């Protein structure tokens, strides 16, 4: 069936480096994509979103890139900080109400 998945289950980066978290999706009808951050014991927290009519969107220290040709989504975090350590999920929605989440990438920021 249609699925959203992540390329790497864990990512370790040094403080101050840039992080890139990747996500592949298979539903070409998806028109809305979100990145969520989940810290231990907490609910998913919105980071940034992008619609299918865009290929790039920037926020504060974060950038989301969407490549519809290869159905790939990435989250770039600039100058990664220890507080960025968490699990990151991509999620997509097509015509319905449900968000379809990927499996998550654990980001570990080391000093």
Distance CA 51, CA 29 (A): 12
Shortest reach from residue 51's CB to another protein, in Å: 9
101 in contact with another protein (CB under 8 A)? yes
- Give the torsion through C-alpha atoms of 17, 91, 46, 88, to 10 deg: -30
Distance CA 48, CA 64 (A): 7
105 in contact with another protein (CB under 8 A)? no
103 in contact with another protein (CB under 8 A)? yes
Size of the site for another protein (CB under 8 A): 20
Shortest reach from residue 69's CB to another protein, in Å: 24
Contact map string, positions 15 to 44, toward another protein, x by CB under 8 A: -------------------x-x----xxxx
99 in contact with another protein (CB under 8 A)? yes
Nearest residue to 76 via CA among 27, 13, 26, 9: 13
Neighbours of 44 (CB within 10 A): 19
Distance CA 43, CA 47 (A): 13
Rule CB under 8 A: which residues touch another protein? 34, 36, 41-46, 49, 89, 91, 96-104
């Amino acid at each position: 069936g249609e699925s959203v998945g992540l390329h790497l289950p864990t990512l370790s980066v040094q403080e101050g480096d840039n992080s890139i978290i990747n996500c592949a999706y298979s539903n070409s009808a998806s028109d809305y994509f979100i990145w969520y951050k989940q810290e231990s014991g907490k609910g998913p927290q919105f980071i940034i979103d992008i619609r299918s009519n865009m290929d790039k969107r920037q926020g504060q220290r974060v950038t989301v890139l969407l490549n519809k040709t290869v159905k790939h989504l990435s989250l770039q975090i600039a100058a990664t900080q220890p507080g960025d350590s968490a699990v990151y999920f991509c999620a997509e929605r097509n015509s319905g109400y449900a968000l379809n989440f990927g499996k998550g990438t654990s980001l570990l920021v080391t000093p």
